[in-house]
Amino acid sequence: MLKKHKAEKPADQADKKRNPKVVQAAAMLAVSCLLLVIAAFALGSLGFFHMIGGWFIPRGEVKVGVISEKGQIESLGDKEIVYRVNSDVVFEHTYAQGTIMLENPKVSKHNLQFSIYLPKNRQDPIYESPTLKPGECILSDKLTDTLSVKKGNYTCICIVSAYDVDGNYCGKNTCTIKIEILDN
């Protein structure tokens, strides 16, 4: 048996549109969408999405070989520390890999570890490399402390620590590195 539906009167439809619950739900949906857009914009401008992406960017890998054969030192004394660094490092954003370019030349007698510090904080490095054996280099890597730096230019101190093959500390040398971060 088929049931017949009553056709709604135009007045009934108008009452549904004016129902306070429907109006309230529509207003809440509009406000929620507006807040979502504002939150996404604020998080984007703070670098939140770069930070999330940075979790999936791997650290730089240590490569066997040198950055360039041109200008390589051919002999070195036992107590000398020699290395090659890029003195103008650029990062697309705080969480990206940058043009670190560190090298421990083949003739070196020491394993080297590079630590980069902001001048105002010589306790906590913004970058620490893995220990490089003679003849190893890193062409790019990401910062190990992304909370201390934001978009801008920084003149940093690089401390190069030397260790013998047994891991005993042999000495250090310092240099200045300029770091530029193009975006948060």
- CATH number belonging to domain 52-68+77-181: 2.60.40.2550
Q: Give tens-digit pLDDT for 16-52.
A: 556 778 788 888 888 888 888 777 777 666 667 666 6
Q: Round the CA-based radius of gyration of the chain to a whole number and report it.
A: 29
Whether 173 shows a pLDDT value over 70: the answer reads: yes
CA–CA distance, 83 with 173 (Å, rounded to integer): 10
Q: Give tens-digit pLDDT for 129-139.
A: 999 999 999 99
Pick 34 or 55 by higher pLDDT: 34
Mean pLDDT, all residues of the chain: 82
Whole-number pLDDT of residue 51: 66
Average pLDDT on 163-183 reads 92
Nearest to 183 by CA among 96, 97, 94, 99: 94
